[in-house]
Amino acid sequence: FPGLNVMTVVTIGVKITNQGDLPGYEFVLIKDSTYAVGNRLFVWFFNKVTGKDKESSNKKDDGDNQSTFSLNKVRVVVPTLSTENNTMISFESNPYLRVQVQFPSFLLKAIPGATKEKSEKTGSDAMRKVLDADGPAALDAFQQEYVRWLES
């Protein structure tokens, strides 16, 4: 919505796994929190729809309306020769992401033509589009930092 920005802050744990001589990495979501900023009316509506208006004073991150699980296994692929006869390091990423969101039933009834199935498909397609757009760049940045670390 114009006038509403939804922000997410995540804490991710990293575990180094052994694959013979080459390391592998597992990135797992430890905690996430989502909040909205912008137009007060839109923020209020966001908080109502997501259940954030019912959160207790202990700041439980996402109430009972959302649960997220994320695991990404990254492994070093056996080095190959590049065109300059230098060893080239490659990575393979195997991500898994599951987000479950519960919307109040009145919301589906209030939006003409909205169904649970259509909402799930729209949400999944939107997430897939973001991951497809951002994933390769993140993996490239990881590769560059890994090579920089090796050379230091």
pLDDT single digits (tens) 29-41: 998 888 899 999 9
How many residues are recorded in the chain? 152
pLDDT of 51: 75
**Euclidean distance between the first and the last CA atom of the chain, given in angstroms as a whole number:** 45
How many Cα atoms are found within 13 Å in the side-chain-facing hemisphere of 20? 4
Return the H-helix or E-strand segment holding 84: none
Helix, strand, coil % (nearest 5) of the chain? 35, 40, 20
Torsion from C-alpha of 140, 142, 145, 150, nearest 10 degrees: -100
pLDDT of 97: 87
- List the structure tokens of 96: 């898994």
Q: Provide the mean pLDDT of the chain.
A: 80
**pTM over cut 0.85:** no
DSSP of 17-74, one letter per residue?
EEETTEEEEEEEEEEEEEEEEE-HHHHHHHHHHHTGGG--TT--SSTTTEEEEEEEEE
